[in-house]
A and B are shown apart, each in its own frame.
Chain A
Amino acid sequence: MTDLTRLELIRRAALGGAAFAIPGFLAACGSDDESGAGTTATAKKELAATLRFSNWPLYIDRDENKKSPSLEEFTQKTGVKVSYVEDINDNATYFGKIQRPLSQGQSIDRDIIVLTDNSRFPGLLISKEWAEKLDKSAIPNMANLQDSLKKPSFDPDREYSLPWQSGMTGIASNLKLTKTPVTSVDQLLGDSKLKGKVTLLTEMADTMSVVMLANGDDPAKVDDAAFDRAFKRIQRAVDSGQVRQFTGNEYTGPLTRGDLAACISWSGDVVQLTVDNPKLTWNLADSGGDIWTDNMLIPKGGDAYTASTYMNFVYDPKIAAQLAVGINYVSPVKGAKAEAMKLDPKVADNPLIFPDEETLSKTVIFDTKALSNQDYLEKWQNLIGA
């Protein structure tokens, strides 16, 4: 057994970073050179050799060689290599996976993870004290954060989190099968021609918002009656075989493959999928959808300084614009639109990527109280199949 524990220790030291990392190159770019009083007791002013970043799929810019220009630029600037893993598929599943080591005081070998605010998990991570504080002295660019995102309910002072991207939930269609884009929830859930070729999202807030809006209810103020109405409507669609499955991010495979005609999906995913299937398109539903924000958090044991340095990097409007053009999600960075104009005016003018008032008026933020409602959560779990 001692051999195994020794082996395990060696593995941890090799893979880990935080406390054992060999000091890497110091930041060369201007905004990173903040010296002075550290913000937390654990503040380290040396960059780790590697940044371990867990993210959702289709959430970083990629060129034809499947490499990420923005990550490479970060490495060039700071000397920190990025270990980028796309292993987050669904908030509940990912949280379930990391809570076990975290609850036992172990590190999960990540410096940055990304969780959505329309689930209860960013708040839960913080309340269980499993998140490291940001090193704000390393993130002067934080001033570029959109005002509307500065004080979220789960982290009012932005001590632990920073938005990665925002997005909207709408309907993706495979034009080869649907001829015209599906934009009405009635069609999605009722058109018999689409029977068995529709999926909904496992994320309660996303699917419920879209359906509640179609029912004429307000997802920002969920009451039992409204919940039940939407719930029953979805249940009917499931029972009739209209809905094939509930998915996290893995709807992308079947959608691209042609197994699905239309599905509830997230705004930016489709753009990178069109490389595989040019017939895919995304629209907000006519009745609207919800708008949410994915947040970068530093799990316990992660290197707060290196993670904060990276966050500062992506809050530079130039980089933010690069990301917006590459992944077509809504940037949380002020000034990104102006920079995006220089890179790709079509993207900069796209209201789904840089929403205007009209688009924003069709989106709502899901009621955060409803996210922790045990009754709703149980009902929802039973609906999506255990």
Chain B
Amino acid sequence: MSVAAQTAPLPRRRAGVLAFLRAHALTAYAILAFVYLLLPIAVAIAFSFNSPKGRFNYTWQGFTLDNWRHWDAVAGLRDSIVLSIQVAAISSVVATALGTLIALALVRYRFGGRGSTNFLIFLPMSTPEIVLGASLLALFLNLQFATGFTTIVISHIMFNISYVVVTVKARLVGFDRHLEEAAMDLGANEWTTFRKVTLPLIAPGILAALFLAFALSVDDFVITYFNAGSETTFPLFVWGAARVGAPPQVNVIGTAIFVLALTAMTANILLQTRRARQLKGAA
């Protein structure tokens, strides 16, 4: 009896360890996965502080803030960033406008050709970028249209439209029509309702789409590579620089973009959480 009493606690403890492992295996795995995801980012950020003696930024040779202070010391880097931002600004605004209109039409109206429109929107997202870039180049070549700033903007708008539509649609689908009906019942006409009720409520979705389009445009390499002519956007600059040794300033810019985007998204999330809480509180 006393033996049984003595041995009884042990199995429970062993079961406890196994259960602990099983319960937290998934968490451990998740942690590993995050490390894997973020490792190259960490490396890229770390090497922006490297001070290489020669032209190659591969081995750690010392910490310095010089790269950050003189981020535009590399010829062509500043111009490429400026160009990327210009292109992204224009293309994201136009794409968001065009895409939002399409999304509105798709979600709120029933019309002939809805299915094929959906399909047409989906197609660019499912075509390999290389085919998109090559076909645009074929277009410009055959029309004798000079490749350069304009063609870059045109191609960026094109591929961004689909992403905008998908993003805004997701937001629109969850939109409560009753709010609009309530406004109309209270005497507002369509345009006022749209301005004062609909638009503010779908604004986060439109902003998210704008942000996404901007990010996709800044980051695009393949399609731009085919259609840039002799212009150089930031990704093209990185590609060229990588051939001969990318200077640490490239990492600096990459890190800066990363931090900016991260901040923007975090702010967005916090805002949305706060708004959700407000709505819940008001309800």
Q: Which residue of chain B is the closest to A65 with respect to CB atoms?
A: B73
Q: Of the 9-residue stretches B5-13, B142-150, B200-208, B270-278, which lies at the interface with chain A?
A: B142-150
Bound-complex Cα distance A116 to B26 (A): 58
Instruction: Give the CA-CA distance A253 to B244 in the complex, in Å.
Output: 7
A252 beta carbon closer than 8 Å to chain B: yes
Residues in chain B within 8 A of chain A (CB atoms): 52-56, 58-59, 75-76, 86, 90, 141, 144-150, 153, 229-230, 240, 242-245
Interface residue from A11, A57, A89 paired with B149 (Cβ < 8 Å):
A11
| CB atoms of B58 and A249 under 8 A apart | no
Interface residue? A41 (CB, 8 A): no
Label chain B's interface by main secondary structure: loop
- Known A86-B244, A100-B141, A108-B230; contact A5-B75, beta-carbon cutoff 8 A: no
The answer to whether A109 has its CB under 8 Å from any CB of chain B is: yes
A264 shortest CB reach to chain B, Å: 17
Collect the chain A residues with CB atoms within 8 Å of residue B59's CB: 257
Contacts of A214 in B (CB 8 A): none
A-B contacts, 22 of them at CB < 8 A, read A4-B90, A57-B243, A57-B245, A83-B75, A85-B75, A89-B243, A89-B244, A97-B230, A98-B230, A100-B141, A100-B229, A101-B229, A104-B145, A104-B146, A108-B230, A248-B243, A252-B245, A253-B56, A272-B55, A275-B54, A276-B53, A276-B56
A359 to B244, CA, bound (A): 29
Query: Would you call A223 an interface residue if the criterion is a C-beta within 8 Å of the partner chain's C-beta atoms?
Result: no
Question: Which of chain B's residues have a CB closer than 8 A to the CB of A220?
Answer: none
For the complex, give the distance between the alpha carbons of A57 and B59 in Å: 20
With both beta carbons as reference points, the residue of chain A lying nearest to B237 in the complex is identified as A87
- Cβ distance B151 to chain A, nearest Cβ, rounded Å: 10
| B147 contacts A101, C-beta separation under 8 Å | yes
Residues of B within 8 Å of A252, CB to CB, are 56, 244-245
Extra A-B contacts (13), CB below 8 Å, given A83-B75, A100-B229, A253-B58: A4-B150, A7-B149, A85-B76, A89-B240, A98-B230, A100-B147, A101-B148, A104-B144, A106-B146, A252-B244, A253-B245, A273-B54, A273-B55
Q: Which of A229-285 contact B (CB under 8 A)?
A: 248-250, 252-253, 256-257, 272-273, 275-277
Contact between chains at B230 and A101 (CB < 8 Å): yes
Q: Is A344 part of the contact surface with B, judged by Cβ < 8 Å?
A: no
With a CB–CB cut-off of 8 A, which chain A residues contact B242?
A: 250, 253
